[in-house]
Amino acid sequence: MAKILNIGSLNLDYVYAVPHFVAAGETLLATRRDVFAGGKGLNQTVAAARAGAQVFHGGAVGADGDMLLDLLRDAGADVSAVSRVDVPTGHAIIEVNPQGENSIIILGGANRAVSPETVEAALAKVDAGDILLLQNEINGLDAIIRRAAEKGLRVLFNPAPMEAAVKELPLHLLDTLIVNEGEGRALGGDMDALRAAYPRQKILLTQGSRGATLWTGSERLFQPAFPVKAVDTTAAGDCFLGYYAAALAENLPYADALRLASAASALAVQKQGAAPSIPIRREVEDFLKGIK
């Protein structure tokens, strides 16, 4: 089985239940506040670890990051390549409306202070053919992608949150580019144009409640979402990607990987919070057994 390395964000999530997303100039009364461990990097690592993969996490936290490291260890991830920096841990402010939709503001903090030494320590944990997960919530992505390609890693990159600078990254070195519909349009217009721009890369398009589509060269695979009642979609995409990476590490066929990831995501959206909502592998397999 291949190993997974995630050099990614580690956040404290402050989640507010609101009747609707706050508008410009509006003061809105929240009905509840919870504090969770989060960050796209942490969520994806937790998902891959709970899926049963051997996972290493690289990144940075401040003095207030113990909660995050404890959660990663409890999930089964190796955090020996996470460094302590003299910067507050990254955090997010998340609004969740009654429909389970979310609106998120992120402060990078320590996630934007990942040193080259930390990156090298993390990359030393894996070998050619292993998987590297990346998101757009840490600094130094250009160098990380290039070093990973030199090392022969399979790089799966999710450019969220999307920004113009993503276009300047060496995306041609990726194994898989993972985007939602908005990110895909921002990068290349429609999917045909995006695929033409990166013909050697697999492209995985996540489509929310509709499902996900994967292009692997000339092959197109579509996995519909499982119909469930969503309570909180905060970690849905991260849960999907972590489980998908774990399935690839097991060398499962792409169709099976998409189905497993979709089932995990369906379970995650039925619970509050980011990392706490991510299911363990047995729960996902039991869910799939119940699907006719």
Give the residue numbers marked as catalytic: 238
Query: Which DSSP letter does residue 88 get?
Result: P
Q: Residue 50, SS3? A: helix
Which pair of tokens denotes residue 222? 């579509």
Indicate if the alpha-carbon torsion angle 125, 128, 131, 133 is positive or negative: positive
Q: Residue 201, SS3? A: coil
Q: What is the DSSP string of 155-181?
A: EEEE--S--GGGGGS-GGG-SEEEEEH
Where are any strands of DSSP class E within the chain? Answer: 4-7, 11-17, 32-38, 55-61, 78-84, 90-96, 102-107, 131-135, 154-158, 176-180, 202-206, 211-216, 219-224
- Can you give the three-state secondary structure of 208-231, one letter per residue? HHHEEEEEECCEEEEEECCCCCCC
Name residue 281's amino acid: R
List % helix, strand, coil for the chain (3-state, nearest 5): 40, 25, 35
